[in-house]
Amino acid sequence: MGYGIIEVKKPKLSLLQFGVIQLSKYDSHELRLKKIFERVTGLIDEYHPDEVALESPFFGKNVQSMLKLGRAQGIAMAAALSREVAIVEYAPRKIKQSVTGNGNASKEQVAKMLMMLFGIKELPKLLDATDALAVAVCHHFQNGDLTGGKTKSWESFLKENPGRLR
């Protein structure tokens, strides 16, 4: 399970941390859920986010996998709620569309876009980390304002912020 934490100080978007909660070493599903809860509450306690954005459940063919994923998402929600942090969910397609401009983008395409956005030098081994970071970026793009409220169009934004163009 991945996580990504960003900070927004207009007009700057900064990467604080992203990674993967390693669960494969735990034998039981219950213990994995406990570790998810502990890690998510730990991240919330460390970074004090205003909101937690999650990828909403998607439909797959393997019912057991969907059930396990739903439980993990529920535990992450419970962790946020236990710290009184607001929760927002986004569909996988919406996340990809927001980050890459293509709702059918591959995990690798999403990762590459995030690497450019944040200046990440090396593609992470586990793309769950960049997937989670994409959820945070999507949330910012959906609710944030890259222009800082100062401009009316991308053209005027780029003229006023030439350093943002790479």
Q: Is 45 annotated as a binding residue?
A: no
Residue 31 has which token pair?
């213990």
Does residue 7 carry a catalytic annotation?
no
Helix (H, G, I), strand (E, B) or coil at 12: strand
Q: Is 128 annotated as a binding residue?
A: yes
Phi, psi dihedral angles at 78 (to 5 degrees): -60, -40
Question: Of these residues, 55, 84, 131, 145, which one is catalytic?
Answer: 55
Distances (CA, A) of 32 to 15, 24, 27, 135: 26, 8, 8, 22
Secondary element (H or E) of residue 153: none
Q: Is 112 exposed, middle or buried (0-12, 13-18, 19+ CB in 10 A)?
A: middle
Looking up tokens 């991945």, which residue turns up? 2
Does residue 128 carry a catalytic annotation?
yes
Question: Of these residues, 38, 45, 128, 131, which one is catalytic?
Answer: 128
Whole-angstrom distance, CA of residue 5 vs CA of residue 113: 16
Residue ranges of the annotated binding site for Mg(2+) are 55, 128
Residue ranges of the annotated binding site are 55, 128
Active site positions, annotated: 55, 128
